[in-house]
Structure 1
Amino acid sequence: MKLNRQFILSYLLFGLIFTTISAKPKAADNDEIIYHIFQRSFYDSNGDYHGDLNGIRQKLDYLQDLGVTSILLTPLYESAFYHNYFAIDFENIDPKYGTLTDYLKLIKELHRRGMKFYMDMETQYVTEDSRWWKEAFGNPKSPYSDYILWDDKDNQKPSTIVYNLTALKGYDGITRKITTANLNSEASKAYNLKLFSYWIDPNGDGKFDDGVDGFRLDHMMDDLDNKGRLPHLFDTFWNPMLAQLRAINPKIKIVAEQANWFSLGNEYLEHGGVDRVFGLRLCFAIRSFDKKLLLANADSTLAMLPPGKQQVVFIENHDVPRFSYAVKGDLAKMKVGCAFNLLMGGIPAIYYGQELGMTGTPANFGATDANEIPDRQAFEWYKSDTGRGMALWYKQTGPWKDQFNGDKPNDGISLEEEQQDPNSLWHYYKKMIAIHKANSAFVDGSYKTIGNDNDHVFTFMRKGAGQTILVAINLSDKETGASVDAGGNPVSIIGDVRPVLKEGKLAVTLPAFGVAAWELK
């Protein structure tokens, strides 16, 4: 699949013929529940222990039953690394994930169901295995010379990447050199535009049923890695390209992962040309169960957005420890996390296995990308943690075979076990997703923090057209009461707490780690 060969019959994948089935309308811009999948660990369809594209397609019934409307994958392109960042070839799908035809089947089936697909892209870096590197190293006259950022005129010194690294060691013990792409060269700009444009409309018919609904831009920066070598990328690279992509499909959504995790991301929304950023500071505030941190981040994240822009609200992803680990497996706390994730606002995103309470935190195996595997282990489909589809790729061969032990049988953390337990986290997620989708104030209402007189109770309001909802969450392990700065006639949506109106305020009593919500009439 090469871009300079007419995308090899439109990347081959898009000539497939499907049985004609009426497609459902896609979710509206705000009416989304994103499911973030580390696909190598999700579901293995062919018995090689690697999760793949066909495995995701086979599990779409599961995702829709849960209430998911969109999926976000980690990169699909070919890489020497198991996580597929740092590409060998941006134009080839990793063969462990399947063929290009498999990709098309997944996209077509998602769109038939009215679901959306977001593609993760990181075109800032390439490895020594790439064609660019091989043909341009030591050869300034190579047509690929301008695709790479060099520190010398003889193309002998490829520039460093983030943290001034020149190479990374993979979990398999193999080290690969990595360098930075020259995003400000005309050749690189043209290449990226062609690459991104293709994924939007592979067959060029303007219908977009075979294309992505959006992109996640990994490690997006205005001055790449703060080295001063590629400054002002918002103006020189990102904004011009994103404008051209929107000219192809005005509905495309661009989601930036802000490289500075302490940033609210407003500079990306105001100057970087993107539609959404990730609520990183809010994520860590939720994980803290600290009301002061929540107060400091909730309004700035959700209530002070530029017009038409959005935050993706999440509590875990492939780069942070599992939420379950953060709260030591406490089921009540995990349900609180679920409530924040789905009720606060923005576009909720759930990391695969989060709905089960899968656990994991970075390991310490030295200077290797194996350290993050505990946060990216196989989705636990079965009570035994073995069986058809288990994507246990990291347990098969090599020095890491016996190092990862997060997959434990009969521990109560599996889809098989939790579907049979009405009090399980999985059932709670399914219920909360349904409540989110059934109430317009949660889907597209505004957010406002509401005051109360208890340091352990967090209260906020979601207000949409014709609906106002008050949410109260007890951050402590003890029953507690609060006087909330809200009035009206409360009708319960979540929980069985009955507020009492006293002196123009609502008096509520919440159980330990209790979650309650009322529509105010």
Structure 2
Amino acid sequence: MFTLQVLFRRAALVAAMAFFCASALAQPPATQTAAPASGVYYEIFVRAFYDSNGDGIGDLNGVTAKLDYIKSLGASGIWLMPINPSPSYHGYDITDYEGVNPQYGTLQDFHRLVEQAHKRGLKVVIDMVINHTSDQHPWFKAALNPNDPHHNWYLWATPNTDLHAISAVGGPAWHRAPNGQYYEGTFTGAMPDLNYDNPAVRQAMIDVGRFWLREGVDGFRLDAAQHIYDDLRTDMDSPVALEKNLAWWTEYRHGLEAVDPKVWLVGEVARQNPDDLTPYMGPLSTVFNFPVATQLIDSVKQERNLGIGRGLQYTYAAYRAHANGAFDDAPFLSNHDQDRVMSQLDDNVAHMRVAAALLLTLPGHPFVYYGEELGMQGSKPDEDIREPMRWYRHGKGPGIASWKGWSSKDGADISVEAEQADPASLLNLYRKLIGWREQVGALRDGVLRNVPLDDPHLLAYTLQDAQSRVLVVHNLSRDTRRVVLDAGAKVSSVLGQSKPGVVLASGTLTLPPYASALLH
């Protein structure tokens, strides 16, 4: 047995709270109207999700057709990967910022999707890819003429430029254009970087954001948010590049707030040091928490608490301090640029269930990558982690996106059809965990305080907001663990358990292997 040293500090507690009984987690009172939003966002690669017209390519009408499925998960919003016209399958090199990829549908189809999503209480966030354009964009084609005003919309080499410089993402930074000049492209030559020192570029991109806000979107996922000025490997730790990044995103946010004061901005800042994320709080609403994604998966694989609670308490306090007391976070397990979680966990279903419980008991806005809730596998190259959604046991049926075949060895049991009716499925675990967030406000917005434990296979923390407080305990191991609760823990009942067998009796908490519990 191990002693739980709960460090509740009365001065740090927001207020005394009235909390509901455990049955509230299982079934809302009859008098209750719509449940509060869970804060969970569902990431969708439109091409791979659901095909409404039989051409093999997922489309916007297909997403609309599956909004009820997304709502059944308990999600409160969706993030659509790029929907703009593009010469590539993935869409991250855009040729028209105010258009819709004709393979996905029309602007009218997008309007219908937004309308139907909002009717269901789902917010709509779209990818905003403004670090670079496609080399097929009319702006770049015009820029090949040194006398065209668009020439200065891009970054061109000078006689003193090191044409062999390495970009911030590890490839060549400079690429030869058809006119013989060299231009900067942090990612590839097909993605020339825009020149954000040019006021015309800044205004054009603010106008793009305003356009989509007027079309009904609620916010944007900001692709490559750190690379607006962090272009070269030598820029990666440059305070000048950081300062210019922050200045631009502050200008951008203010520009969009003129249209929608509540616009939500989540940035992709792919850094592993939490201190590199904190400066973006304020200029943006939040950023994706890459460090915690790595830490969660590593802890699950090793079945050991690798300092998760301690690290999050530090990070969240820093976020609040930097954003004048405001708090948001965007934790996730994997996304469209990484091997899928189940593949990272070597197809270990027990580990996958623990990872889900860890993610969905963290405050902020957790993101779930489509198919993650089923346990879909996928390892790089990128196409293989963006494969068709598995709707049916045998992989065939209406709406299957056949833009590419499946590379993973997922069987018939890894499908919506198979998992819907199985109460013990991963899909229904996701629904249960997200349901907790709808019922317990502290899981969404609470202040996190680490609870140190002697047992390295356990993770515990409290979450508290003005209305509720909950103690979260995770057993990361394959063995049953028992915890003696101190009197200061002030918990008396189990509000929720990720699997049967959690027992709280006579001050001792018993957790079955790989189980998570909410206590109050």
TM-score interval for Structure 1 and Structure 2 normalised by the shorter chain: 0.7 to 0.9
| Structure 1 counterpart of 2:438, one-letter code | K
Shift in Å at residue 261 of structure 1? 3.9
Shift in Å at residue 409 of structure 1? 4.6
More strand by share: 1
Alignment partner of 1:255 is 2:257: no
1:65 to 72, 94, 102: 72
Distance in structure 2 (CA, Å) of the matches to 1:136 and 1:281: 38
Q: Give 2:455's aligned residue.
A: 454
Q: Give 2:296's aligned residue.
A: 286
Q: Is the 8 A contact 1:136 1:143 kept in 2?
A: yes
Residues 259/422 of structure 1: CA separation in 2 closer, same or farther (3 Å cut): closer
Shift in Å at residue 455 of structure 1? 1.0
Shift in Å at residue 183 of structure 1? 1.4
1:191 to 162, 179, 204: 204
Residues 67/245 of structure 1: CA separation in 2 closer, same or farther (3 Å cut): same
Alignment partner of 1:149 is 2:155: yes
Q: Is the 8 A contact 1:385 1:409 kept in 2?
A: no
Alignment partner of 1:86 is 2:86: no
Shift in Å at residue 454 of structure 1? 0.8
Shift in Å at residue 43 of structure 1? 0.6
Provide the secondary structure at the position in 2 that maps to 1:83: coil
Residues 304/44 of structure 1: CA separation in 2 closer, same or farther (3 Å cut): same
Q: Give 1:3's aligned residue.
A: none
Distance in structure 2 (CA, Å) of the matches to 1:301 and 1:31: 22
Q: Is the 8 A contact 2:362 2:444 kept in 1?
A: no
Trace 1:111-126 onto structure 2 (pairs within 5 A).
111-126=118-133
Distance in structure 2 (CA, Å) of the matches to 1:189 and 1:391: 37
Q: Give 1:14's aligned residue.
A: none
Provide the secondary structure at the position in 1 that maps to 2:343: helix
Residues 225/43 of structure 1: CA separation in 2 closer, same or farther (3 Å cut): same
| Structure 2 counterpart of 1:242, one-letter code | R
Provide the secondary structure at the position in 1 that maps to 2:126: strand
Distance in structure 2 (CA, Å) of the matches to 1:453 and 1:46: 57
Trace 1:37-52 onto structure 2 (pairs within 5 A).
37-52=44-59
Shift in Å at residue 278 of structure 1? 1.1
Shift in Å at residue 328 of structure 1? 2.1
Distance in structure 2 (CA, Å) of the matches to 1:487 and 1:26: 32
| Structure 2 counterpart of 1:247, one-letter code | A
Provide the secondary structure at the position in 2 that maps to 1:144: helix
Q: Give 1:180's aligned residue.
A: 193
Alignment partner of 1:140 is 2:140: no
- Deviations for 1:412-458, whole angstroms, at most 9, x for unmatched residues? 10001111221110111111111221112223222111122211011
Distance in structure 2 (CA, Å) of the matches to 1:233 and 1:165: 19
Trace 1:290-305 onto structure 2 (pairs within 5 A).
290-305=304-319
Q: Is the 8 A contact 1:451 1:484 kept in 2?
A: no
Q: Give 2:224's aligned residue.
A: 219
Q: Is the 8 A contact 1:333 1:513 kept in 2?
A: yes
Gaps of 5+ in 2: 1-32, 177-187
Q: Give 2:398's aligned residue.
A: 388
Shift in Å at residue 79 of structure 1? 1.8
Distance in structure 2 (CA, Å) of the matches to 1:389 and 1:406: 20
Q: Give 2:334's aligned residue.
A: 316
Provide the secondary structure at the position in 2 that maps to 1:452: coil
- Deviations for 1:354-376, whole angstroms, at most 9, x for unmatched residues? 110111121xxxxxxxx112211
Provide the secondary structure at the position in 2 that maps to 1:473: strand
Q: Is the 8 A contact 1:125 1:181 kept in 2?
A: yes
Residues 379/407 of structure 1: CA separation in 2 closer, same or farther (3 Å cut): farther
Shift in Å at residue 291 of structure 1? 0.8
Distance in structure 1 (CA, Å) of the matches to 2:341 and 2:192: 33
Distance in structure 1 (CA, Å) of the matches to 2:270 and 2:231: 9
TM-score by length of 1: 0.81
Q: Give 1:442's aligned residue.
A: 443
Distance in structure 2 (CA, Å) of the matches to 1:322 and 1:120: 20
Distance in structure 1 (CA, Å) of the matches to 2:106 and 2:459: 48
Distance in structure 1 (CA, Å) of the matches to 2:453 and 2:78: 37
Distance in structure 2 (CA, Å) of the matches to 1:35 and 1:453: 36
Shift in Å at residue 280 of structure 1? 1.1
Alignment partner of 1:337 is 2:389: no
Q: Give 1:18's aligned residue.
A: none
Distance in structure 2 (CA, Å) of the matches to 1:379 and 1:392: 10
Q: Give 2:16's aligned residue.
A: none
Shift in Å at residue 342 of structure 1? 1.1
Distance in structure 1 (CA, Å) of the matches to 2:247 and 2:128: 18
TM-score by length of 2: 0.81
- Deviations for 1:307-329, whole angstroms, at most 9, x for unmatched residues? 21311111121122111112222
How many pairs does the alignment contain? 454
Provide the secondary structure at the position in 2 that maps to 1:128: coil
Shift in Å at residue 257 of structure 1? 0.9
- Deviations for 1:139-193, whole angstroms, at most 9, x for unmatched residues? 111131122111149xxx9x9965334579xxxxxx9633111111022112111
Q: Give 1:20's aligned residue.
A: none
Residues 409/499 of structure 1: CA separation in 2 closer, same or farther (3 Å cut): closer
Residues 261/487 of structure 1: CA separation in 2 closer, same or farther (3 Å cut): closer
Provide the secondary structure at the position in 2 that maps to 1:433: helix
Residues 235/461 of structure 1: CA separation in 2 closer, same or farther (3 Å cut): closer
Distance in structure 2 (CA, Å) of the matches to 1:440 and 1:55: 32
Residues 283/240 of structure 1: CA separation in 2 closer, same or farther (3 Å cut): same
Residues 237/303 of structure 1: CA separation in 2 closer, same or farther (3 Å cut): closer
Which of 1 and 2 has higher RCO (CA within 8 Å, sep 6+)?
2
| Structure 2 counterpart of 1:384, one-letter code | H
Residues 64/331 of structure 1: CA separation in 2 closer, same or farther (3 Å cut): same
| Structure 2 counterpart of 1:476, one-letter code | S
Distance in structure 2 (CA, Å) of the matches to 1:262 and 1:74: 25
Shift in Å at residue 223 of structure 1? 2.8
Q: Give 1:13's aligned residue.
A: none
Shift in Å at residue 81 of structure 1? 1.9
Shift in Å at residue 134 of structure 1? 1.4
Residues 177/434 of structure 1: CA separation in 2 closer, same or farther (3 Å cut): closer
Distance in structure 2 (CA, Å) of the matches to 1:119 and 1:353: 19
| Structure 1 counterpart of 2:209, one-letter code | F
Provide the secondary structure at the position in 1 that maps to 2:190: strand
Residues 432/317 of structure 1: CA separation in 2 closer, same or farther (3 Å cut): same
Distance in structure 2 (CA, Å) of the matches to 1:301 and 1:98: 41
Q: Is the 8 A contact 2:96 2:137 kept in 1?
A: yes
Q: Is the 8 A contact 1:26 1:114 kept in 2?
A: no
- Deviations for 1:80-102, whole angstroms, at most 9, x for unmatched residues? 22111122222222111111111
Q: Is the 8 A contact 2:309 2:460 kept in 1?
A: no
Distance in structure 1 (CA, Å) of the matches to 2:402 and 2:220: 28
Q: Give 2:422's aligned residue.
A: 421
Q: Give 1:269's aligned residue.
A: 281
Q: Is the 8 A contact 1:184 1:237 kept in 2?
A: no
Shift in Å at residue 473 of structure 1? 0.7
